[in-house]
Amino acid sequence: MSITVPYTVILQSVVTGSVSTMLMEASPNTPAAQARANTVAPKGTHVVALVKGTHPVIPGVPTRL
């Protein structure tokens, strides 16, 4: 059985510089979660921050679930 925890991933567009967020489930192991975030980040974005837990999203910011 694999244990996962929620993470809020903050992304930045490489074209426009705009910031967005997405939620993901990943291992509680931080390096493994970082690797997963980089893998699942949409093309054209890079991971700015990875925060353990679900956090409120700034209104007006695009999100992905």
User: How long, in residues, is the chain?
Assistant: 65
The pLDDT value recorded for residue 31 is: 93
The pLDDT value recorded for residue 54 is: 81
Residue pair 1/14 in contact (Cβ under 8 Å)? The answer is no
pLDDT, one tens digit for every residue, the chain (65 residues): 689 999 999 999 999 888 888 999 999 998 999 999 999 999 999 999 999 988 766 555 555 55
The pLDDT value recorded for residue 21 is: 87
Please compute Rg for the chain using Cα positions.
Answer: 12
The pLDDT value recorded for residue 3 is: 92
The pLDDT value recorded for residue 39 is: 95
